Amino acid sequence: MNEIKEIEVIPILQKLIQFKTINPPGKTIDAINYVKKILSEKGILCEIQEYSEDRANLFAEYGSGKESVVLCGHIDVVPAGDEKKWAFDPFEGIEHKGRIYGRGATDMKGAIASYIAILLKLKEKNVKLTKKIKLLITSDEEVGMGGAKAALNTDIMESTHFLIIGEPTELKLSIAQKGVYWAKIKVFGKSAHGSTPELGVNAIEKAAELIAKIKTTIPSTKHPLLNYSTLNIGKISGGTSFNVVPEYCEFTLDYRVVPSVSYNEIREKINRILKLFNSKEDAQAKFEEVHIIPPIESNSEIAFMGKLKEKLKKKNILEIVGVTYGTDGAVLVPPNNTDFVIFGPGRLDQLHVTDEYTLKDEVVTYSNLLLETIIEVFEEK
Ligand SMILES: [Zn+2]
């Protein structure tokens, strides 16, 4: 039987939790070396890409064939916060009542352990496939996605038939992800004494007018899986005291974008607002883009997705969703418009929390769902 047993995946998860791949600082090389060791011991081809000091990606592959299915996950984790508040040591991987506790148990060492177990099982059973199964473990997903960006400099994503990103989705299939558009708007006025505001130009008041204008102009667009795009003004700063007319104010835009929205359109809209503002007002405003992640969407009707849906339906847990959090997919998908799914074990309420845990059974179920689907769709007939 090609079945992954609990003992073949959970101890790997526990071991992975024990590597403190906390980001920042983001040191992942020890965990990556461990994965390389357990895979290459069984004869699976592995390569490490150390793209900056102590930070590395791992590439592994099984089988032959021109095209590949890429299993992708990040090994870095967010800090554990106040460790004293944890009921269990966040870096032990302790098992308690069917749960595995630890930082990264859900986000996302559970999926990585599953990927490793899948490769080991395929190798052990010498399954002949028509596609390569590649493993891509990245670093720095939690801080800027440096690992995924470095991976694009290699041939890992070449001829990718399908990409699976194992971020936690509670075993739901996510085929859409919101994008992120961060910009800063700077407003320059003119200072004066607070008792004679008519002699100055109040940058804070002008910024408030601009915020109102931007909020009504930037579209709120609905997407069937991601709901509405949202705009949050997260930070505003300016001014010095009660009695000074402020000469400077700046505020931030955090726009979470659905796939149908184009960034060029947003840029044009903001530029038009500022141009009009600058021509009419005594104040001047400028804008600066700070951080941009594109939204992604997959309409994949390929056989792999069909089979996976069938299996989830049989278990009565088929659900197609979108995710609002970011994943490496934002970097890996756009260059070739790769077909993808975000699909992994782990409860969404366990992301980045104290006492993070994952359900043992869910990790085992996930491992076998993917393994069975790979074999049923890609085994050489
Ligand atoms: Zn994650």
| SS3 state of residue 363 | helix
Query: What pLDDT, in 10s, does the model give residues 144-156?
Result: 899 999 999 999 9
Mean pLDDT computed over 310-324? 96
Residues 193 and 279 reside in one and the same domain: yes
Q: Count the domains in the chain.
A: 2
Residue range of the domain that includes 247? 179-293
C-alpha of residue 327 to centroid of ligand 1, in Å: 7
Mean pLDDT computed over 27-54? 97
From the CB of residue 233, how many other CB atoms can be counted at a distance below 10 Å?
A: 14
Q: Are strands 68-74 and 160-165 parallel, antiparallel or unpaired?
A: parallel
Query: What pLDDT, in 10s, does the model give residues 340-355?
Result: 999 999 999 999 999 9
Residues 309 and 171 reside in one and the same domain: yes
Residues 129 and 166 reside in one and the same domain: yes
Of 271, 293, 315, which marks where a domain is finished?
A: 293
Query: Could you list the active site residues?
Result: 76, 141
**1 in any annotated domain:** no
Of 265, 293, 321, which marks where a domain is finished?
A: 293
Would you say 340 and 328 are in contact if contact means Cβ atoms under 8 Å apart?
no
Mean pLDDT computed over 74-91? 97
Residues 313 and 289 reside in one and the same domain: no
* pTM exceeds cut of 0.75: yes
Residues 183 and 151 reside in one and the same domain: no
* CATH for 213: 3.30.70.360
C-alpha of residue 153 to centroid of ligand 1, in Å: 22
Mean pLDDT computed over 23-36? 97
**55 in any annotated domain:** yes
Residues 152 and 18 reside in one and the same domain: yes
Residues 269 and 317 reside in one and the same domain: no
Residues 289 and 300 reside in one and the same domain: no
Q: Are strands 248-257 and 68-74 parallel, antiparallel or unpaired?
A: unpaired
Given pLDDT bands bounded at 50, 70 and 90, which one contains residue 178?
Answer: very high
Residues 209 and 265 reside in one and the same domain: yes
Distance CA 350, CA 358 (A): 8
Task: Give the closest residue to 137 by CA, choosing from 212, 218, 238, 34.
Answer: 34
C-alpha of residue 206 to centroid of ligand 1, in Å: 39
* CATH for 339: 3.40.630.10
Of 229, 262, 293, which marks where a domain is finished?
A: 293
Predicted local distance difference test score (pLDDT) of residue 360: 98
Predicted local distance difference test score (pLDDT) of residue 268: 94
| SS3 state of residue 254 | strand
Mean pLDDT computed over 329-344? 96
- The tokens for 174 are 């996510």
Predicted local distance difference test score (pLDDT) of residue 1: 74
Residues 145 and 276 reside in one and the same domain: no
C-alpha of residue 167 to centroid of ligand 1, in Å: 5
On the question of pLDDT at 309 being above 90, the answer is: yes
On the question of pLDDT at 118 being above 80, the answer is: yes
Residues 56 and 152 reside in one and the same domain: yes
